[in-house]
Structure 1
């Protein structure tokens, strides 16, 4: 009997590599759509146009799309265009490919982001899928266009799930290795005023949540993928500080972060936006987190860092 097939688009990065290993261990055959195929089972695509790769979707159990240009850049016009188009183009062409299948995939999961919600200040309620306040800035509009493209195709035989993913913490990729490296050097102080909320998720719980959504065919629509306990930036940096105990502490006021972001060709929004999000739908569906709070998650991950 053939193993179930999972088509993974944009699967060569941090999240994609973990998902590939996770679903391979679970008994799936995983084929990755990539601009630079590396493995015999990889399929070449450009993320914009239909091609021979589309035939592989026929009869697949799952299509999982993680494709999208990194937001770790300056938000000038060229990069803004690339950020939006890399997400909407890849989503559109996957929808076209699924619509053309005679035996379409049973499930299509598509990346989105917890950044779709507006800044949450102070003690304001956290954003749930039902009550979250959608923002109006550039990053929030990117997420809205992304999800709109995802929901546009007429696919009556394919279940769709949008993954509104928060910051995923892992020892081998994402934001944590950079934060840890800086914390060792004394930059374990709050970013700006430090009261901005951080929604996060351990990489193990990220993979488990995706697997949970695959395994429960009644679940569809948007899901917040984040731990149930967000924390402030100051609290996060305090946890890093307690682990590394640097010999000195360098303040990180907003003006200094702006200079640093300019020199590193990135944006301070990645550190200063207040994301207070909770996974209401996952919890109501019965998902249980292994790392619901950040201290145990960091205690697991930080010793794994080089």
Structure 2
């Protein structure tokens, strides 16, 4: 299979590449030299790089496209300028890929494109799944809704489109967990706000396994929640991480302080998103990590 990947050197992309490196991979990257170093474990014969899509008229030679590109949403305060960067980094490349698929006589059989559970907005209804039509006027919904709309326009009888509504991906090589580890190891970790908000998490191993499963399942199309079957509250996640690290869990960060420090992007920490992976489950996917404590113990290499 010949697969075009965007975001191939990102946190998820690098792990995904390990599972699909027997295929012919073409990675879109601004810096092929650095990308080659980051993906050095892949046989040179199986790996090519392109720096732009502008020279392509179609995607006739590709069997699949996996679109994981996008500016990290939580790394900077959401100024007006940063919001535009977040949108453009997702929408522009997705639109280019969609156009190329539509211009192809023999288009890729599958287009897998990123999104996030932020699509649903803040909900205090407890848990929900892809069949619940939940959304609101949050910025994260605005970003994801248009991102998905662009990707889904590539759907045809020749190309199935799969949308990845991703939760918080847990990894020790980057992302949210990596940022939390130092304060928790210092005994400074604690609950955020009232701690009742749901955190939709997924272990990196299950994240990339699920993408491959969707890639290889001809009947899979539409939006899928890439979250573990048992979302946890912020308080339970915080307590569990402290317990795994044998550290106290005494502190908490009030809601007003989070809002003061982060501004509008505080919704990433304060919104409740109890998203469950109903469609993945119905498709037959088996998670390796369904509950938070075994997932954290695995990531932190704890056997007891």
Give the alignment's TM-score, normalised by structure 1. 0.89
Pairing 1:1-306 to 2, within 5 Å after superposition: 4-24=1-21, 27-37=22-32, 38-39=35-36, 41-45=48-52, 50-52=53-55, 57-72=59-74, 73-121=76-124, 124-153=125-154, 155-246=156-247, 249-261=250-262, 267-303=265-301
Q: CA deviation at 1:169?
A: 0.5
CA contact (8 A) 2:117 2:225 kept: yes
Q: CA deviation at 1:154?
A: 6.0
Q: Distance in 1 between matches of 2:241 and 2:285?
A: 28
- Cross-structure match for 2:41: none
Number of residue pairs matched? Answer: 289
Q: CA deviation at 1:288?
A: 0.9
Q: Distance in 2 between matches of 1:102 and 1:153?
A: 13
Q: CA deviation at 1:100?
A: 2.0
Q: Distance in 1 between matches of 2:130 and 2:247?
A: 39
Unaligned 5+ runs, structure 2: 37-46
Q: CA deviation at 1:240?
A: 1.0
Q: CA deviation at 1:260?
A: 4.1
In structure 2, the CA distance between the partners of 1:91 and 1:259, relative to structure 1 (3 Å rule), is same
Q: Distance in 2 between matches of 1:64 and 1:247?
A: 41
Q: Distance in 2 between matches of 1:226 and 1:79?
A: 26
2:253 is paired with a residue whose SS is coil
Q: Distance in 1 between matches of 2:286 and 2:249?
A: 39
In structure 2, the CA distance between the partners of 1:60 and 1:248, relative to structure 1 (3 Å rule), is closer
In structure 2, the CA distance between the partners of 1:204 and 1:82, relative to structure 1 (3 Å rule), is same
1:291 is paired with a residue whose SS is coil
Q: CA deviation at 1:247?
A: 5.8
